[in-house]
Amino acid sequence: MRKWVGMAAGAVLALGTAGQVMAAQPSEKQVRQLFQVMHMERMFDQMNSQMAGVMGQAVPCVPASYWQGFIDASGSQQLLGRMVPIYQHHFSAADVAGLLKFYKSPLGQKVITQMPVTMAEGMKIGQEWGRERGQAMVRQLQQNGTLDANGRCPASPAATTPKPVPKPDH
């Protein structure tokens, strides 16, 4: 009897696990519909504009307008095409259906429009906090004598002034 109970429990676990693994994968059409509802191409345009600004500063000899075409319409479709299998791997058809329902709702649309601004503001606050926290930790290490006044390890070669190398006489 115990043997049968054990086998039955094993079968139930196996079937449950198989059911999770065998969840229907979303179709490419379903995933692309999700991308459309999420306004992914518009997000790519925003990323492209930000990247053009960054690249314009990083490589000032190249006009920022050059980088504006980094993610053009064709590139956008190529990138979305490469993202489809990722969504198919991580989300079931039921998951994507639920996401479609959510993102089509007024709240879902608000999330789409407000998330980039919210994340940008959060990143700014995070950078400020990180800078303040880092400075406080360095001050503490300096007070403990772990770091010198310049923020370097006292025993490191960079903390000492290098001696000039004498020129050989010819």
Nearest to 29 by CA among 95, 79, 96: 96
Q: Where are the domains of the chain?
A: 23-104, 106-148
Cα distances (Å, whole numbers) of residue 126 to 53, 111, 121, 131, 140: 21, 20, 9, 8, 21
Encode pLDDT of 7-43 as tens digits: 455 554 555 544 455 689 999 999 999 999 999 988 8
With cut-offs at 50, 70 and 90, classify the pLDDT of residue 110. very high
Tell me the C-alpha distance between 30 and 97, whole Å. Answer: 8
More confident residue, 5 or 116: 116
Tell me the C-alpha distance between 14 and 138, whole Å. Answer: 54
